[in-house]
Copies of this chain bind each other. A is one copy, B any other.
């Protein structure tokens, strides 16, 4: 209470007035908040689902890494709160989004690709769970998007046509032995493999270890696609082979697709047959 309860009464009149002023811990909007967890695909407006576009345009607030916020600049509505936070602050973004939703706002949290694949959807749900969320307020809706492996695949042909794995080489939150075990499993069981976060400025060895693991199980000339910024202006596509893949520049924005034993290249197109070679 900022002003304690006071009862004001005139001696010669019937009735009284009671006054007290309290400050609410959150702003009152008269609405229940919503969290829209939105995947914007590779960043090109032609590759964002209409549902995701509407979610972004309808939100009171849009929160995301500044690069992605810029990619969807034309979807913004005047008067929207835009909070573009640096790339390292994923947990802060999740907390901030929940805070605004608790005020009663509709908040769009944007991720590149699919928000549920190495994106923000899981982080926001984890944070809600840790706060004892009842599963209903704020309301949550998840909007899938074209993820990096699909964007890259579509630019080189049909490399994912058979069983595939997605593996992130970032060992920031996952112990490296777990990742290495998965690389081994994927290589040995002949999955087409998509490597997310293949290399960063400080993390350069993991991609070389991945290559060595795959070379134990697959031929040196196994096709590999290296795709940077699919569907963006600076898109760069290289088809190479497993033994030569480290000659191509690879960074955090690169998707590496390693073919299985049946994957082939025909005239700049990478194709994994749907049928498996039945002779072995």
Contact = CB atoms under 8 A, between A and B. Distances in A.
A274 interface: yes
A135 B157 CA distance: 11
Given A46-B49, A48-B50, A269 B126 contact: no
Interface string A183-196: 01110111100000
What class of interface size applies to chain A in its complex with B?
35 or more
Contacts of A268: 135
A25 B45 CA distance: 41
A125 interface: yes
A167 interface: yes
Contacts of A181: 189-190
Interface in A103-152: 114-119, 121-123, 125-126, 128-129, 133-136, 140, 142-147, 150-151
Given A133-B267, A186-B185, A267-B135, A116 B160 contact: yes
A178 interface: yes
A208 to B, nearest CB: 19
A20 B133 CA distance: 81
Given A49-B47, A146-B49, A161-B121, A273 B126 contact: yes
Nearest to A182: B189
Interface string A146-174: 11001101110111111111111000011
B191 A133 contact: no
A78 interface: no
Contact of A165 (B136, B155, B165): B165
A175 interface: yes
A243 B251 CA distance: 41
B46 A125 contact: no
A53 to B, nearest CB: 8
Contacts of A246: none
Interface of A: 37, 41, 44-51, 54, 114-119, 121-123, 125-126, 128-129, 133-136, 140, 142-147, 150-151, 153-155, 157-168, 173-175, 178-179, 181-182, 184-186, 188-191, 264, 266-269, 271-276, 278
The 6 closest A-B pairs by CB, nearest first: A135-B267, A122-B161, A185-B189, A173-B275, A122-B158, A46-B51
